[in-house]
Amino acid sequence: MEKVINITLKVWRQRGPKAKGSFETYRLDGISGDTSFLEMLDILNERLVGGGLEPVAFDNDCREGICGMCSLYINGHPHGPDSLVTTCQLHMRHFNDGDTITVEPWRSAAFPVIRDLMVDRYAFDKIIQAGGYVSVNTGGVPDANAILISKDKSDEAMDAASCIGCGACVAACKNGSAMLFVSAKVSQLSLLPQGQVEASRRVKAMISKMDELGFGSCTNTRACEQECPKGVSISHIARLNREFLKAKLSE
Amino acid sequence: MSTVKLDAKIPSGNLADKWSNYKAHQKLVNPANKRRLDIIVVGTGLAGASAAASLGELGFNVLNFCIQDSPRRAHSIAAQGGINAAKNYQNDGDSVYRLFYDTIKGGDYRAREANVYRLAEVSVDIIDQCVAQGVPFAREYGGLLDNRSFGGAQVSRTFYAKGQTGQQLLLGAYSALSRQIGRGSVRLFPRHEMLDLVLVKDGDGTERARGIIARNLVTGALERFSAHAVVIATGGYGNAYFLSTNAMNSNGSAAIQIYKKGALFANPAYAQIHPTCIPVHGEFQSKLTLMSESLRNDGRIWVPKKKEDAEAIRAGRLQPTDIAEEDRDYYLERRYPAFGNLVPRDVASRAAKERCDAGFGVASSGLAVYLDFSDAVRRLGEATVEARYGNLFQMYEKITDQNPYKTPMMIYPAIHYTMGGIWVDYELMTTIPGCFAIGEANFSDHGANRLGASALMQGLADGYFVLPYTIQNYLSDQIRVPRFSTDLPEFRDAEAAVRDKITTLMNIRGKRSVDSIHKELGHVMWEYVGMGRTAVSLEAALGRISEIRDSFWGDVYIPGDLGGMNVELEKALRVADFIEVGRLMALDGLNRNESCGGHFREEYQTDEGEALRDDLNYSYASCWRYRGEGLEPERVIEPLDYEFIVRQQRNYKS
C-alpha cells in the first residue's frame, strides 16, 4: 500500500548573503511516499504562498538528477540520506511518519548563500575557466576515429566526466575542499589523448584557481566520495595528485 | 491573404552543393572588424554554448546569458540516448543522403529540404569536434567509436556516452565556452533572464535587433544590453503542458518576446510526445522523467492480449511476469514488422495511446504499457544490459521503487520536445533583421516530428557550424555601425514597458498561485491539444485558454516585492507567455486540417489509424504574425517545395 507520512520540517531561511539566517519550523501532513523531496517543498511553498508568505527559495531545474542545480543539506547529508541520488531524485518513502527533517543550504566559504537554501557556486565555473578544457577551436580537427582510445581508458574518463558540478563534495567536506570536483575534470582529460598536450598547464592552473577561491585542502576523509550523487571515486584525486606532481617536477 | 512575403534564402544549385555554394559566396567579416562587433547569445544549451564559444573564438565580442547559476545547467544536459551523424563507421549503408532522407521522412515531409541536407552534412563534423574536446563517447574494444540504433532509421548512426550523451556534449560545449570566458572574448551573465528584445531604427528606417532587457534574478534589477545582433537559443516551449520532460525553468518566453516584436512563430502545433516516460503518479507531480529511446534497442513494448488480464493487473491481482508469452501483445512488432520497437516517436506514442484507450493499459491508472527487458537479460546477461543502460535503470528504480531487471518498466507518452518555433531563413535569421534563432528555439529542421538523437545534432550543428558562418553574412554590413549606447530612447522605453508589466502583475494581488494556473493550463493542453486533436477539442481549448488568461491576469497572487530575488514573479512571467504559446498551438492545430508527425488530427487518419497528410493543401510551414494585444495573429505561409525527393505516405511496416 502507498505510504503516507506526516513530517516536521526545519528549514533554513535567510534573506540575503549578509543577512542573519535562522531555522523556521513547518508541519506537513499527508505526504505520499511517491512524492519527491522537491515536490514536497513545492507543496510547502504552495501553502506559504496561499497564506500570503514568501516561498522557500531553492535551486532546482531538471528534476532528474543530471543538471546539478539542486542542492540541500538534508539531515546532515548533502542530497539527503539515500545514496547515489540528487535531492530531486530523493523520494519521501525514505522518511518515516513523525520524522523531523532539517534542511540547510550547502555551507562552505566558497559558496555564499544567496537566499534561503540557494547558494552561489560560480567558483566552480571559475575553476573550469582556468583550464578545464582542451584548447581546440571549432573546425579543423582530425576525424573522430583517427585516434584510437582503449575502451578501459575511455570508460574511466566517462566515469570521471559524470560529475554534475553540484558541489555536494564541497558541502560534505569538513575542509570545504573542491578536490573531487577538480579531480573529476583533470582525470577525465588526462585519461584521453586529446587532453595530454596541455595536461601540466591545466592541472597547475586549476589547482591554483581552486586555492585562490578559498576552497580548503584535502585530508582524505572520503566524505566527498560517500556523498557524491554520481559515485565519482576519490581514485581521481589520486590521479590529480599524480598529475600535479608530474607537472611540478617537469618545471 | 498575407502582407508578409517570406524569403527562405535557399541557395541555388543541387541539394548537395547548396551549403558549399553558400559558404563560397557569402560575405565574411575580417578579424579587425570582428573585434568591433558585439553579439548577444541568450541561452547556454547545446546551441547557445556552442555558438557563443565559436563566435568568441572567431574574435567577436559575445555577451552570453543564462537563467541558471551556470551555463552547464541548461536542459540539453538531460538528453540521454545519443547524437546522430552520417559517419557510416559501421559500414551499414549510411550516408549523408540517407540521414537527410530519414530526417525528412521522419518529419513527415514538413521540413525544408535544403536545411535538412545541410544538417546531415555537418553532422559528421560535430562528432570530430566533440572527440577533439575530450567528450568520452562509448568505444569498442579496438578503440573505435561505438554506435547504436534509434527510431526511424535502419542503420546504426547514433553516437553515445552511456545514457548521458547530452550531458557530455553540453560539458564539451561548456568547456569551449569556459575557455572563451577565461580569455575574455565571452562575457557571461548567469542568473539573468531576458525579458524583451530591443529594436532600433536605422537611418534608412530598417528596424534591427540591437539589444535586450534582462532581469538580474538575484538583485531583481532590470538591466540593458546592446549589441549588433541578438541570437535566441532558449529551447522549446513544452512546459506549456506543465507536466513535461523539460526542466522546471525551461520556458518559451524569449520566443514570445521576439514574436511580439515581429518575429514569426512557425508551426506551433508541432509538439513531440515521447513514448517512453515514467507515468504520472499524483497531483503534486512536478515533472515527467524520460526513459531514453535507446532502451527500445533491447526493450520490447507490450500490453496483455486479453482485456481481463489487463484488468487484473490494474487491480493488482496479477503481475506482468504472470502473463504467459503467448498472452502478450507486442503491438509495435505486430503493427510495424520492418521497424518493430524502433518506429519513430510519434508512431510509438499513438500506438501506446491506442492500446490504453482500447482498455489494454496497465498500472492502476490504466495509462501505461510495459517496456520489457527479460529477453535482453536472457540473451545478453544482466551485466551487459547494465553496461548499456545501468544509469537509466537506476533512475527508474529510484523514482518508482521497482527493479527493471526483474519486472518490466511501465511507461507512457509525455511531452518532450517542440518542433515548432521561431521561423528562420536558411541563415537562421528571423524576420527581424539581426535577430537569429538556433537550436530547439527555431522551427527549421525536424518538420512535424523529430527523430531520436537529432536534437543534439541540430543544436550543435546550428551553434558550431552554421550560425558562425551565416551571421557574418549579416554582420558584414554592420562593420561601420558603432557600439550602441543603452541610454537610447528605445532601450529606455523597452525597460519601462517591462517594468510596467511586472508592476501590473505584482499589483493583481489575487487569490491564485502561479503554479495552480500553470497546472490548469497544462491540463487543458494535454486533454485538448495533446496526442490526438480534433477541431472540437481545439475549439474547446481556445475557449478554456482564454478563461485561463483572464483568471491569470485577474486573480494571480505573487508574494514578495520587485527588488531582490522573487521566484514566484519569475514563474508568473513565464506562465503569462505559456498562455500565449498555448493559444498559438491550438490556433495552428485548428488551421492544419491534416495529420502529420506529432500533429495528429483524429478526423484525418488512414483506415489503419496512421496519420493522413494532405500535401495538396498543407504542404507549408504555417507562421503566425503578432498583430497586437487582443487581435488574432495573421497566418503567413512558407510553401514547402520538394524539389529532390518524392513525398510518400510514411511506411514503417515493410
DSSP A103-149: EE---BTTB-EEETTEE--HHHHHHHHHH-S----SS-PPPTTSS--
Res. B1: pLDDT tops 60: no
- The mean per-residue pLDDT over the stretch B192-203 comes to 96
Res. B2: pLDDT tops 60: no
Distance CA B541, CA B633 (A): 17
A241 touches chain B (CB under 8 A): no
pLDDT of residue B151: 83
A135 touches chain B (CB under 8 A): yes
pLDDT of residue B128: 98
Note the ipTM here. 0.98
Give how far Cα B188 sits from Cα of A118, B174, B331, Å.
20, 12, 49
Res. A13: pLDDT tops 60: yes
CATH 1.10.1060.10 fits A121-249, yes or no: yes
Confidence of residue A123 (pLDDT cuts 50, 70, 90): very high
Res. A79: pLDDT tops 80: yes
Q: What is the mean pLDDT of chain B?
A: 95
- Share of residues in chain A with pLDDT > 70 (%): 100
Which B residues, 570 through 599, put their C-beta within 8 Å of a C-beta on chain A?
none
Q: What is the DSSP string of B432-453?
A: STTEEE-GGGB-SSSTTSPPTT
Confidence of residue B3 (pLDDT cuts 50, 70, 90): low
Res. B650: pLDDT tops 90: no
Tell me which of B73, B148, B345, B450 is the catalytic residue.
Answer: B345
Distance CA A69, CA B537 (A): 38
Name the nearest CA neighbour of B270 among B110, B133, B432: B110
Distance CA B433, CA A135 (A): 33
Task: Name which of B54, B71, B559 is nearest A138 (Cβ-Cβ).
Answer: B54
Neighbours of B31 (CB within 10 A): 9
Name the nearest CA neighbour of A163 among A220, A224, A214: A224
- The mean per-residue pLDDT over the stretch B37-46 comes to 98
In one-letter notation, the amino acid at residue B570 is E
B516 touches chain A (CB under 8 A): yes
Query: B73 catalytic, yes or no?
Result: no
pLDDT of residue B654: 73
Domain ranges of chain A: 4-114, 121-249
Confidence of residue B412 (pLDDT cuts 50, 70, 90): very high
- The mean per-residue pLDDT over the stretch B365-377 comes to 95
CB contact (8 A) between residue A151 and residue B401: no
Q: What burial letters (b/e) apply to B601-629, b meaning 16+ CB within 10 Å?
A: beebeeeeebbbbeeeebbbbbbbbbeee
DSSP designation for A14: -
Q: What are phi and psi of A51, to 5 degrees?
A: -95, 15
Domain final position from B360, B390, B414: B414
Across the strands, what pairs with B61?
B38
Instruction: List the domain range (segments joined by +) for residue B557.
Output: 505-639
Residue B50 counted as domain residue:
no
Distance CA B182, CA B176 (A): 10
Contacts of B188 in chain A (CB under 8 A): 125
Cβ contacts below 8 Å, chain A against chain B, sum to 217
* Of residues B1 and B434, more confidently modeled: B434
User: In this structure, are residues B426 and B114 in contact, taking their beta carbons and an 8 Å threshold?
Assistant: yes
CATH of the domain at B296: 3.90.700.10
Confidence of residue B537 (pLDDT cuts 50, 70, 90): very high
Res. B406: pLDDT tops 60: yes
Contacts of A157 in chain B (CB under 8 A): 134, 136
Least confident of A224-233, B94-103, B543-552, B640-649: B640-649
- The mean per-residue pLDDT over the stretch A32-43 comes to 95
- The mean per-residue pLDDT over the stretch A202-219 comes to 97
- The mean per-residue pLDDT over the stretch B329-347 comes to 93
Contacts of A196 in chain B (CB under 8 A): none
Residue B601 counted as domain residue:
yes
Domain count, chain B: 2
CATH of the domain at B574: 1.20.58.100
* Of residues B145 and B365, more confidently modeled: B145
Which chain B residue's Cα is nearest to A161? B168
Residue B213 counted as domain residue:
no
Summarised one tens digit per residue, pLDDT across range B470-496 is 999 999 999 999 998 999 999 999 999
Distance CA B166, CA B566 (A): 30
Confidence of residue B4 (pLDDT cuts 50, 70, 90): confident
Residue B645 counted as domain residue:
no
CATH code of domain A4-114: 3.10.20.30
- The mean per-residue pLDDT over the stretch A42-59 comes to 96
B442: left (phi over 0), alpha (psi -120 to 50) or beta: beta
CB contact (8 A) between residue B394 and residue A84: yes
Res. B580: pLDDT tops 80: yes
Name the nearest CA neighbour of A77 among A49, A53, A103, A110: A103
Domain final position from B414, B437, B460: B414
Which B residues, 101 through 130, put their C-beta within 8 Å of a C-beta on chain A?
125, 127-130
Summarised one tens digit per residue, pLDDT across range B148-182 is 988 888 899 999 998 899 999 999 999 999 999 99
Assign 3-state DSSP to chain A and report helix, strand, coil percentages, each to 5: 40, 15, 45
Distance CA B559, CA A50 (A): 9
Residue B254 counted as domain residue:
no
Q: What are phi and psi of A27, to 5 degrees?
A: -110, 135
Provide the grid cell at B15: 541539394
Domain final position from B414, B430, B453: B414
Distance CA A179, CA A202 (A): 14
